[in-house]
Amino acid sequence: MALLQIAEPGQSGKPHERKFAVGIDLGTTNSLVATVRSGKSDTLPDENGEHLLPSAVRYTPTETIVGKAAREAAVEDPHNTIISVKRLMGRGVEDLKLLGEQLPYEFVESETSVPRIKTVAGDKSAVEVSADILKALKKRGEETLGDELVGAVITVPAYFDDAQRQATKDAARLADLNVLRLLNEPTAAAVAYGLDSGQEGVVAIYDLGGGTFDISILRLNKGVFEVMATGGDSALGGDDFDHAIAEWIMQQAKISNDQLDASRSRLLLQKACEAKEALADAESVDITIDLDEQQTWYGSLNRDTLNELIDPLIGKTLLSCRRALRDAEVDKDEIIDVVMVGGSTRSLRVREKVGEFFECEPLVSIDPDKVVAIGAAIQANALAGNDPDGEMLLLDVIPLSLGIETMGGLTEKIIHRNTPIPVSRAQEFTTYKDGQTAMAVHVVQGERELVDDNRSLARFELRGFPPKVAGALRIRVTFQVDADGLLSVSAMEETSGVEASVEVKPSYGLSDGEIESMLKASMEHARDDIEARSLREQQVEAARVIEALDSALAEDGDALLSDEEKQVILAARDALVQSKDMATTSQQVKDAIAAVEKASAAYVAKRMNSSVQSTMAGHKVEEFKTESED
């Protein structure tokens, strides 16, 4: 039978309707997936009992390998094995040059701004590589939970910008994973310790990993964490501790640099790392190094010496902490909790020094490698609706722009993609024809310029406008998206108060793959779209000009124009009608409109004069004065 988890009272799901959600820590070096089972959040191991999934992907002509096997292949197959892809997320080709890193990958020369890595399995973007890592984690989650996932909370560094966050979301979509929220890594760590339901105040998240250090200062206010400052060092971590110890061993054993080859220095670093880990429990540790076939060096490292070696490195992290506090404009004594994240915070010396600096005991009871994923899983569980007391944290954004159709089948965006929800935006539109008494509102979603290329969400009509000349009425269209992503659109004609509205769920029926392909299409067709848009705009303008000209001619064309003058105007008009329907570029239509305007310039002037005369006829100059003074 199915294996069951203990639910909160009254929260048991029906069979096949249980809402399994996971938290994913998508890391630079390692990734983790966690979930809440029987009320306890924990990371999920693979079949070998390994919780950490190395964030490495190797592409071969036949398969995609993710994890440990891929990382081990990085040396032998560097071009097809992608590691640390997180550093490339949301970056353009130009950004990569600025990163100044020597990346072993071959980038494809492309016109788009998204860099693509050449591999034997085809060109891969950072989003696709991340998606492969996410797919592996999703599979582990589904196999462990025995059912499909309703979604995931994925963590991102607090300093990730919109492009990097969107890239992460896009990767999840490619992996067919529903993103419940993106959560800042330090926030997830704080959630794991339950600080979100604790007292309000400022907390510090000290995250020392293998190769990077991050410090985040968060303020908890009404259950929401606000990031006040972030800081750190992208090239400082536990690996530097190992280097310091290895150098000390070299000094003690009198090994010179030129005696070191690649395998020997790797061995030294391994010994250094083992010594560091052993000193977490022991006061001192013995080290033996084979110098050559005959000689072996015996030494011992004690805690005091270790501390001397790593103190300067810890000191550097504390400098970053001081800077972050200054940026956040908070004093040390305002910090109520310090959360330790990252494997290197297992070091007792680090804990001691951080405790001294912040003058409070740091939180260390949760495995620092897993704490971010554990917090993300708690959040995912709450967002999936399994925890009645769960707080809703952070904001979400709308995945695709929302807008309405305007004349000529063009899309007018009212709420742009990536706008945080809830949101409300309004825009004014006007009538297009004289005497227009109704308007159709067509709600569309997507990034393309033409309505036909976007997705139609809803249509409704607004009727009963007072008949007025074109452009005289104001129709206010309001888009409102609530916290659950539910869109309501209302339209009101302001002079008459005529109103209509409709409710739609923007993402309803739209699979993640469809969103992805819609986004892709909008990028691929960007140039065509702009030309198509301006052609449509000119066609609409042409129709408007013809309409206005025809109604003017019908009214007073015979009175004001000689036959000859009329023929010239009509010839230009006919050319425009033809151009409007046949033209392939916007410029052709534009030229034809200009020709009509030129041909009818004298006529327009005559009409203006006669109109002014007829308006003023029978009135005195004084009357106009008073009117203008009112």
Q: Which residue of the set 128, 170, 185, 233 is catalytic? A: 185
Q: How far is the CB of 199 from another protein (least distance, A)?
A: 17
Q: How far is the CB of 16 from another protein (least distance, A)?
A: 6
Query: Is-contact 322 335, C-beta < 8 A?
Result: no
Bridge partner residues of 41 (DSSP) = 36
Q: Which of 86, 116, 138, 140 binds another protein (CB under 8 A)?
A: 140
197 near another protein, rule: CB under 8 A:
no
Q: How far apart are CA 405 and CA 533, in angstroms?
A: 12
618 near another protein, rule: CB under 8 A:
no
Q: Which residue of the set 86, 135, 138, 169 is catalytic? A: 86
Nearer to another protein, 40 or 619 (CB): 40
86 in active site:
yes
14 near another protein, rule: CB under 8 A:
yes
Contact range with another protein by CB under 8 A, out of 137-145, 236-244, 430-438, 583-591? 137-145
254 near another protein, rule: CB under 8 A:
no
Nearer to another protein, 50 or 311 (CB): 50
CB atoms within 10 A of CB 149: 21
Nearer to another protein, 144 or 419 (CB): 144
Q: How far apart are CA 277 and CA 310, in angstroms?
A: 13
5 near another protein, rule: CB under 8 A:
yes
- Count the site residues for another protein by CB under 8 A: 28
207 in active site:
yes
Q: Which of 294, 270, 274 is nearest to 286 (CA)?
A: 274
- φ and ψ of 444, to 5 deg: -130, 160
The C-alpha angle 75, 78, 84, rounded to 5 degrees, equals 95
15 near another protein, rule: CB under 8 A:
yes
385 near another protein, rule: CB under 8 A:
no
Q: How far apart are CA 447 and CA 519, in angstroms?
A: 7
Q: How far is the CB of 365 from another protein (least distance, A)?
A: 12
Q: How far is the CB of 382 from another protein (least distance, A)?
A: 15
Q: How many residues does the chain have?
A: 630
Nearer to another protein, 144 or 534 (CB): 144
Instruction: Tell me which residues in 35-64 interact with another protein (CB under 8 A).
Output: 37-40, 44-47
Q: How far is the CB of 363 from another protein (least distance, A)?
A: 17
Largest CA distance in the chain: 123
198 near another protein, rule: CB under 8 A:
no
Query: Is-contact 206 339, C-beta < 8 A?
Result: yes
Q: How far is the CB of 34 from another protein (least distance, A)?
A: 13
284 near another protein, rule: CB under 8 A:
no
Nearer to another protein, 44 or 383 (CB): 44
Would you put residue 222 in left (φ > 0), alpha (ψ -120 to 50) or beta?
Answer: left
Q: How far is the CB of 42 from another protein (least distance, A)?
A: 9
Contact range with another protein by CB under 8 A, out of 109-117, 136-144, 161-169, 232-240? 136-144
Would you put residue 288 in left (φ > 0), alpha (ψ -120 to 50) or beta?
Answer: beta
185 in active site:
yes
Q: Which of 34, 129, 145, 545 binds another protein (CB under 8 A)?
A: 145
Nearer to another protein, 6 or 262 (CB): 6
Q: How far apart are CA 569 and CA 122, in angstroms?
A: 59
Q: Which of 362, 280, 380 is nearest to 42 (CA)?
A: 380
Nearer to another protein, 378 or 443 (CB): 378
Long-range contacts (CB closer than 8 Å, 24 or more residues apart) made by 324-329: 324/204, 324/215, 324/216, 324/217, 324/229, 324/230, 324/231, 325/204, 325/217, 325/229, 327/217, 327/228, 327/229, 327/231, 328/202, 328/217, 328/228, 328/229, 329/228
Q: Residue 256 corresponds to which amino acid?
A: S
Q: How far is the CB of 140 from another protein (least distance, A)?
A: 7
144 near another protein, rule: CB under 8 A:
yes
Contact range with another protein by CB under 8 A, out of 64-72, 85-93, 140-148, 457-465? 140-148
Q: How far is the CB of 9 from another protein (least distance, A)?
A: 5
Contact range with another protein by CB under 8 A, out of 142-150, 372-380, 532-540, 591-599? 142-150
Q: How far is the CB of 331 from another protein (least distance, A)?
A: 33
Site string for another protein, 543-582 (x = CB under 8 A): ----------------------------------------
Q: Which of 50, 95, 106, 143 binds another protein (CB under 8 A)?
A: 143
46 in active site:
no
Q: Which residue of the set 207, 396, 529, 537 is catalytic? A: 207
Q: How far apart are CA 401 and CA 412, in angstroms?
A: 10
Cis peptide leading into 61, omega within 30 of 0?
no
Extract the runs of DSSP E, i.e. beta strands, from 9-115.
Answer: 20-26, 30-37, 40-43, 53-54, 56-59, 64-66, 81-83
3-state secondary structure of 243: helix
Q: Which residue of the set 25, 132, 196, 516 is catalytic? A: 25
Contact range with another protein by CB under 8 A, out of 12-20, 248-256, 462-470, 495-503? 12-20
Query: Is-contact 494 476, C-beta < 8 A?
Result: yes
Instruction: Spell out the residues 6+ positions from residue 570 whose beta carbon is closer than 8 angstroms to its own.
Output: none
Nearer to another protein, 45 or 409 (CB): 45
Query: Is-contact 110 96, C-beta < 8 A?
Result: no
Tokens linked to 105:
């990958």
Q: Which of 9, 61, 100, 497 binds another protein (CB under 8 A)?
A: 9
Q: How far is the CB of 198 from another protein (least distance, A)?
A: 13
Nearer to another protein, 145 or 279 (CB): 145
Q: Residue 342 corresponds to which amino acid?
A: G
Instruction: Spell out the residues 6+ positions from residue 183 whose beta carbon is closer than 8 angstroms to its own.
Output: 23, 153, 154, 155, 156, 191, 375, 376, 379, 393, 394
Measuring CA to CA, how many Å separate 31 from each of 68, 166, 207, 279, 375?
11, 19, 15, 27, 14
Nearer to another protein, 12 or 578 (CB): 12
- Catalytic residue set: 25, 86, 185, 207
Using CB under 8 A as the criterion, which residues of the chain lie in contact with another protein when the complex forms?
A: 1-12, 14-16, 37-40, 44-47, 140, 143-146
